[in-house]
Every structure is written in C-alpha cells, then in structure tokens.
Amino acid sequence: MRLQDIAPISRSYRENLFGFHAFRYHPLVSGLGWPDDVLEQWLYDHGDNGAFLRDYGNLNLSAVAWTVEAIATQEFLAMPTGRSDGSCIDGYAADPNHWISVRQHGVHAGVSLCWATHGTWKRWPILVDRSLVDATTGLQVVEGRTRVGILRGRHRENDRVAPQHLAWVGRPAADPSQTA
C-alpha cells in the first residue's frame, strides 16, 4: 500500500468529520498495524499533503515497522526532512520561542512547560529510516518538523535541551519469508 492509496481516505475522514477514531478503523488503515499516534500524525493529518505525497509517495507503507527510540540531540541537529519541505526545519529553528508560544491551546497545552521542564517535546515526532525512501542511510523527519526546529533553535541559543528525545521510528519490516 502506498501513501496515495490513503490520501483520499484521509481527506474524506477529515472533511466529513468522521474523525481520527473512525479513520483508524478503515480496513486499509487498520490493516497496516501501525500505532495510533503514527497513524494520526502522519496518515490522518498529512496523508493528502502534496509535499508528503511527493516525498513518500513511493514508500510501501506495509513494509514499515514502528518502534519508539531515544535519539540523541546531536543526531537531530543534522537530520533532514523530505526534499519538498527541505528548509522548513531551519525556518522553525530561526525563532524557536515563537513556535513554542503559538502552541499553548488544545492539544498543544503544555508544550512550553515540556520544553522548560524536560528540554524536549510533548509528543513524539515521526522519523523514518532513509533506506525506506532512497538509497541513503540515517533517519529522516517525516512529521514533527516544527518540534525538531524548536530543538535546533533552543540548542543554538543554549536553552534547555535534553541529551536524548523519544521519537517514533519507522524501519524496514522484517521479511516474513526470511525468518524461520
């Protein structure tokens, strides 16, 4: 299954107010076996985003397995995002306090407190192993580009930043035919 297969479902469930909870039970979506947080942040919120479709359109979603990992700050400082939005992280990093200040209501309540208290984000971003996308190595930010930009900006400004940060990491799923 590819992202373009999910795009019309994502758009329909958002526009028709079915919501995320109904979206996650759609047979194509639930069949992926992905964690709800990854489904919501990536496929539901951005499944029909043009830049995401360009950058991840060829990714076989069924071939991705998800884990939560602790990633070092230093790794985030140079981690890219997709080519279509390649400079956006640096844009957010230019004024991290602004991007924290506009995230204070609704699902964003507590963002400022998490940065001040723990030196990290409230919600884990979505990263993928770049081997899933192209022939390179390392990790790439799919969703959470503002969060990673805030981290970079705070690091540059010597504000509190934790040495490690939790993130959802998608890696190639084990090929069942290769295990026995």
pLDDT value at residue 13: 95
Q: Determine, yes or no, domain membership for 179.
A: no
Res 88 pLDDT > 80 = yes
pLDDT value at residue 174: 84
Which residue, chain included where needed, has tokens 């947080």? 37
pLDDT bin (cut points 50, 70, 90) of residue 176 is: low
Q: Determine, yes or no, domain membership for 178.
A: no
Q: Which domain holds residue 25?
A: 3-173
d(CA 112, CA 40): 22
Q: In the chain, what percentage of residues exceed pLDDT 90?
A: 89
- pLDDT digit string (tens) for 124-139? 999 999 999 988 999 9
Q: Determine, yes or no, domain membership for 180.
A: no
> Who contacts 93 (Cβ-Cβ below 8 Å, separation ≥6)?
149, 150, 152, 153, 156
How would you classify residue 12: left for phi > 0, otherwise alpha for psi between -120 and 50, otherwise beta? alpha
CA geometry: angle 141, 146, 148, nearest 5 deg? 55
Res 180 pLDDT > 50 = no
pTM: 0.94
Mean pLDDT, residues 140-151 taken together? 98
Number of compact structural domains in the chain: 1
Mean pLDDT, residues 69-92 taken together? 96
3-class SS of residue 72: strand
Q: In the chain, what percentage of residues exceed pLDDT 70?
A: 97
pLDDT value at residue 179: 42
